Chains A and B, each alone.
Chain A
Amino acid sequence: MIDALTPLALAETVDLLTSPSDITGVLIEGLAKGSLYLMIAVGLTLIFGLMDVINFAHGAFTMYGAYIAGVAVLALGVGSMGFIGSLGTFLIIMIVVFVLLAVLGVIFEVTLIRKLYEYPTIFMILLTFGITITMEELMRMIVEFRDINNGQWDIGWDSPRQATLPSELGGTIEIGFLNFTGLQLMQILMGVGVVVGIWAFLNKTRYGLFVRAGVEDEEMAKALGIDINRTFTAVFAVGSGLAGMAGVMLMWDPLWDVNVPLALAVLLPAFVIVIVGGLGSFKGTVVASFLVGLIDALGTWAFQTGVITFTDIDQLMIFAILVVMLILRPRGLFGVKGQGDHG
C-alpha cells in the first residue's frame, strides 16, 4: 500500500475532483452501489433487529437468488424480448425468487433456528455458518452436476449477462452533464423502492407494529398476546426473500458475478454496513449503505483515474470504514447500547 500511490500531482487530483461530470458520475455510481448494498444488507438488519440472529447464511440466500435468476433469464431468453417484455419478466422473476427464498427461510427458521433462541447469540452465528457451508456446497454440486456455466462454479458469467441485459439498460443516458446507465437508474429506483417498502411495512402495517413491539420489548409483546414466534418466522422469511431479491439485482450488475463465492463476497460488505449503521437499526443501515456505496464509488473512481493503483481499493476501503467506525463510534451510527454485546 505504501508504494500504491503514483506521483500524480495534487493539483491534478483536485482538478479531477472539481470537474462536474466526475463529481456527478461518482455520486450516481455511489447511489447505485449504495442501493445494491442496501438491498443486500436490509434483510440482515431486519432479522437482527428483531431476533438478535446474525444470519451468516444471508450471503448464501443471495447467491441462490442470483443463480435462480441467472438460469431463469437464460432459459426464458430475456435478452430477445424487447425492453418492456424483458423488464417485466425480470420483475416477475424477482417476485418468484422472493417467494421461493422466503419459503426456504421459513423452512430454516421453523426447523433449525427456532431451536436455538434460548442460547447465546454465538450459537446463531455457528448455526447459520453451518447452513452457509452446506448451502454453498450444495450449489457447487448442482452446478457441477447440471453443467451450469460449463460445470464451473467459480467462473464469471460476463457473456451470458451481456446477452440477457436489454440494450436500453446497458446504454448510457445523458442529461446535461449527468451521465448514467439505465441499469444504474434501475438500481437506484429499486433501492428507493425497497426503503419505502420496508418503511411502510414497519410503520403502516399491523405486522410491522408487531415487529416494532418485538424489537422494543419481547416479553411485553408476548404478554400483550402477540404471537412473537410467528412474527419471527415472518421477519425471517421477509429477510431471506430480500436477500434473494438482492441476488436478482446483482445478476445484471457488471461488478458482480453469478458464482458460488458470491455468497461470501456479498456477506462481508453486508456485515460491514449493518455494523457501521448500528446493529438492528433500519435507519442506520440505509445511511450506512449509501455511505459505503459512495466511498466505494470514490475508491473505484480513484483507481480508474490513476490516483491510486491498488486493484481492490474499494474492498479495502469497505473494511477500513468498518474499523474506523468502530474506533470512533463503537456501536455504529445509530446503534443502541446492549444490542449484540456479551451475554
Chain B
Amino acid sequence: MSVETQQTGGGRFPSWIGQYLRDHLLLAVIVVLFAVYPFLYDFLTGQFGLTAQMILPRTRTMLTILALGLFAMSFDFISGYTGYLSFGHAAFFGIGAYFVVLGHNGQLPVVPAETSFMLLLLIGALVAVIAAFLIGLISFRLSGVYFAMITLGIAEMMYVASNNWGFLTPGTSDPTEGVAAGSPTDVGFFEPMVGVPFVEALQVEIGPFGDESILGISVGDPQIVSYLAIGAVVLLCYLMMKRIIHSPFGRVMIAIRENEERAKAIGYNVFYYKMGAFMISAFFGAVAGALFVGYEGAIDPTNSFFFLVTGFALVAAIIGGLGTLAGPFFGYIFLEGVEEFLSREGSGGGLQPFLEQNLPGAILDTDIAGLTINEALSAFMTGHGDFYAGIIFIIFVLYVPIGMLGTLRNRYGTDSLAKYVSAGVEKRLPSSDGETAATGDDD
C-alpha cells in the first residue's frame, strides 16, 4: 500500500488504487489504527492515567504481539487451512531466531559475521523452508494425530539439542540460558536494520536503542520506530499469506482440509500442495522468529523451540478463529491483553495497581476467611494470566470453536469481513470511479 489521501480521478495515481482501497477499507482502517496505536496509547494514558494503563497493552507488549502474532498466523496458514496440525511449528520460529543471532555472531559457515539483519532474516527463513521440506518428507506420509505427533517430536529434539549443544553458545555459558546477538567480544554490536535492503533511506534500526525517526519523521522513541518497522514487515507477510490463500493454490489447501480424498480424486497431487503450504508457513514462522530477535537481541530455547511456543500460538488461533488468518493475530492480542491485565505494577499496570489506587484501603484490607482482598488478588490473580487464559480457551473450544473472527464472519454471512464492510460502503457511495473515502497509511 502506498501513502495517499483523498484525490479525484485523473490525478497522480491510477484509479485502481482507489478501487483497491475501497475494496480493502476495513484492512486500511485496521492498519491505520495499528499505526497510530502507540501515539494513541501515550495520549490516552496521559489523559486517563491508570484506567487506560489497566486496559490497554503497552507498546512494548504490542511489539511482542507483532512477532508472535505473525507466528500464530503462520501456524494458522498450515493448520487452519490444510487441517494438518503442525504441532512442532516452534521449530521454524527457533530456526529463524537462532539463525539471526548465530549469523550475526559469525558462527555459521558461509555467512560472514555482522551480515545485515534483513539478509539474515531472509536466509534464515529459507533455511526453515529447507527444514520444512525435510520434516515434510517424513511427516506427510502420515495424517491426523500422527502428523501432529511427529512434528512435535522433531521440534522437541531441536529443543533438547538447543538446550545442550555447546556450539550455540561458544565460551563457557550454558546453552539453556540462551544466546545474545553480538555477545562475543570480536563481533560488532547488534544493530538490526529493517527495511528495503540496499536502500539507505528506507531502512531504520530497530531495538531498544535504535533509531528515533522513521522515513525522516522524528518519533522520539526507538520503541515506536521498532513497532512501526516490524509492523510493516508483519503487514507485508500478512498480505502475502492472504494472497496465497486467495490464489488457486490456497483453494486446493482448503480442499485438502475439507476432503483430502476428493481433492486427490479430482486430480490434484495433494502431497505437493501440502508440502508447499508447509514450506510457506515455515518461511513466515522463521520470519516471525527473526523479528522477535530483532527487538529482543537475544533468544533462549524456552521461548523459541519449546513446545509451549506452539501451544500458545494454537490457543491464539482458536480464540481468534482457526482458518481465518487474521484471527490468530487478534487472538494473540487478546491473550497478551489478559496476561498484562493481570500483571503487577511496573510491567504494564494491570488490575491490581488500578484497584490499589482507586479502592479505599478499608475494602482492600477486608478480611475474608483470614485473607484480605489485596492478598487474595496478589495470590490468585496477579501474574497468573495463563490460568484465566486457559479457562477462556476451554470456553472457546466448547462454545465458540470457530473463534472470534469466524463467528463474526458467520454472522455477516460473508467469507471475509472486509468484503462486508466494502459492500456497505459501496452502497452508500455515488458510483464513480475516482473517489475514495479511505485514507491509506504506509505502516
Interface of A with B (CB < 8 Å)? 1-3, 54, 112, 115-116, 119, 121-123, 125-127, 129-134, 136-138, 140-141, 144-145, 264, 268, 271-272, 275, 279, 310-312, 315-316, 319-320, 322-323, 326-327, 330-331, 340-343
Q: Is the CB of A312 within 8 A of B163?
A: yes
**Contacts known (A130-B397, A134-B390); A272 close to B164, Cβ less than 8 A:** no
Q: Is the CB of A326 within 8 A of B138?
A: yes
- From B10-18, B23-31, B146-154, B292-300, give the one contacting chain A: B146-154
CA gap between A342 and B82 in the complex, in Å:
11
A232 to chain B, nearest CB (A): 17
**Contacts known (A126-B314, A145-B380, A330-B141); A268 close to B156, Cβ less than 8 A:** yes
Q: What would be 16 A-B contacts, judged by CB atoms less than 8 Å apart? A: A1-B161, A115-B398, A116-B398, A126-B393, A129-B315, A130-B390, A264-B308, A312-B164, A316-B157, A319-B153, A319-B154, A320-B157, A323-B157, A326-B149, A326-B150, A330-B141
**Contacts known (A144-B379, A312-B163); A131 close to B146, Cβ less than 8 A:** no
> Which of B143, B145, B260, B393 has its CB near the most chain A CB atoms (within 10 A)?
B145
Q: Give the residues from 117 to 151 in chain B that come closer than 8 angstroms, CB to CB, to chain A.
A: 138-139, 141-146, 148-150
A residues within 8 A CB of B397?
A: 116, 123, 126-127, 130
Tell which of A112, A129, A322 touches B314, judged by Cβ atoms closer than 8 Å: A129
B318 within 8 A of partner (CB): yes
Tell which of A134, A137, A342 touches B143, judged by Cβ atoms closer than 8 Å: A342
Chain A, Cβ-Cβ closest to B139: A326
A328 to chain B, nearest CB (A): 11
Tell which of B83, B144, B152, B161 touches A271, judged by Cβ atoms closer than 8 Å: B152
Tell which of A130, A275, A316, A319 touches B146, judged by Cβ atoms closer than 8 Å: A275
Q: Is the CB of B379 within 8 A of A275?
A: no
B434 within 8 A of partner (CB): no
Q: Give the residues from 381 to 406 in chain B that come closer than 8 angstroms, CB to CB, to chain A.
A: 384, 386-387, 389-391, 393-394, 397-398, 401
Chain A, Cβ-Cβ closest to B150: A326
B residues within 8 A CB of A279?
A: 145-146
B40 within 8 A of partner (CB): no
B412 within 8 A of partner (CB): no
A residues within 8 A CB of B150?
A: 322-323, 326
Chain A, Cβ-Cβ closest to B153: A322
> Which of A112, A116, A127 has its CB near the most chain B CB atoms (within 10 A)?
A127
Contact string against A for B residues 148-188, beta-carbon threshold 8 Å, 1 for contact and 0 otherwise: 11101110110011011111000000000000000000000
B residues within 8 A CB of A320?
A: 157
Chain A, Cβ-Cβ closest to B379: A145
Q: Is the CB of A125 within 8 A of B394?
A: no
Q: Is the CB of B142 within 8 A of A330?
A: yes
Contact string against A for B residues 17-58, beta-carbon threshold 8 Å, 1 for contact and 0 otherwise: 000000000000000000000000000000000000000000
B77 within 8 A of partner (CB): no
Q: Is the CB of B85 within 8 A of A137?
A: no
Q: Is the CB of A129 within 8 A of B157?
A: no
Q: Is the CB of A340 within 8 A of B314?
A: no
Q: Is the CB of A133 within 8 A of B144?
A: no
B residues within 8 A CB of A331?
A: 146
Q: Is the CB of A3 within 8 A of B167?
A: yes
B307 within 8 A of partner (CB): yes
A residues within 8 A CB of B138?
A: 323, 326-327
> Which of A3, A116, A138, A331 has its CB near the most chain B CB atoms (within 10 A)?
A138
Chain A, Cβ-Cβ closest to B395: A130
Main secondary structure on A side of the interface with B:
helix
A58 to chain B, nearest CB (A): 14
A-B contact count (CB 8 A): 129
B188 to chain A, nearest CB (A): 27
For the complex with contacts A119-B401, A275-B153, 10 further pairs of A-B residues with Cβ separation under 8 Å are A2-B167, A125-B148, A129-B393, A134-B390, A136-B386, A137-B386, A137-B390, A140-B384, A323-B153, A326-B153
B residues within 8 A CB of A123?
A: 397, 401
Q: Is the CB of A141 within 8 A of B164?
A: no
**Contacts known (A145-B380, A316-B160); A133 close to B145, Cβ less than 8 A:** no
Q: How large is the interface on B (under 10, 10 to 19, 20 to 34, 35 or more residues)?
A: 35 or more
Q: Is the CB of B149 within 8 A of A271?
A: yes
A residues within 8 A CB of B152?
A: 268, 271
CA gap between A126 and B394 in the complex, in Å:
8
A295 to chain B, nearest CB (A): 14
CA gap between A341 and B150 in the complex, in Å:
13
B311 within 8 A of partner (CB): yes
B residues within 8 A CB of A315?
A: 160
CA gap between A133 and B390 in the complex, in Å:
6
B residues within 8 A CB of A131?
A: 390, 394
Tell which of A264, A322, A326, A341 touches B307, judged by Cβ atoms closer than 8 Å: A264
A residues within 8 A CB of B315?
A: 129-130, 133
Q: Is the CB of A340 within 8 A of B146?
A: yes
B residues within 8 A CB of A116?
A: 397-398
B432 to chain A, nearest CB (A): 48
B271 to chain A, nearest CB (A): 14
CA gap between A115 and B400 in the complex, in Å:
13
Chain A, Cβ-Cβ closest to B138: A327
CA gap between A117 and B254 in the complex, in Å:
24
Chain B, Cβ-Cβ closest to A321: B153
Q: Is the CB of A126 within 8 A of B146?
A: no
Q: Is the CB of A322 within 8 A of B384?
A: no
CA gap between A343 and B84 in the complex, in Å:
11
Q: Is the CB of B154 within 8 A of A112?
A: no
Q: Is the CB of B144 within 8 A of A319?
A: no
Q: Is the CB of A127 within 8 A of B141?
A: no
B residues within 8 A CB of A140?
A: 384, 387
Q: Is the CB of B165 within 8 A of A133?
A: no
B80 to chain A, nearest CB (A): 11
Q: Give the residues from 220 to 252 in chain B that come closer than 8 angstroms, CB to CB, to chain A.
A: none
CA gap between A255 and B394 in the complex, in Å:
33
B140 to chain A, nearest CB (A): 11
CA gap between A275 and B146 in the complex, in Å:
8
Q: Is the CB of B146 within 8 A of A112?
A: no
Chain B, Cβ-Cβ closest to A127: B397
CA gap between A330 and B387 in the complex, in Å:
36
**Contacts known (A315-B160, A316-B160, A323-B150); A129 close to B311, Cβ less than 8 A:** yes
A residues within 8 A CB of B157?
A: 316, 319-320, 323
CA gap between A183 and B141 in the complex, in Å:
42
Q: Give the residues from 312 to 356 in chain B that come closer than 8 angstroms, CB to CB, to chain A.
A: 314-315, 318
Chain A, Cβ-Cβ closest to B163: A312
CA gap between A138 and B384 in the complex, in Å:
8
A116 to chain B, nearest CB (A): 7
Q: Is the CB of B145 within 8 A of A137?
A: no
Tell which of B260, B314, B384 touches A137, judged by Cβ atoms closer than 8 Å: B384
CB-based closest 5 A-B pairs: A134-B390, A133-B390, A137-B387, A340-B145, A130-B394
A residues within 8 A CB of B145?
A: 54, 121, 125, 279, 340-341
A residues within 8 A CB of B391?
A: 130, 134
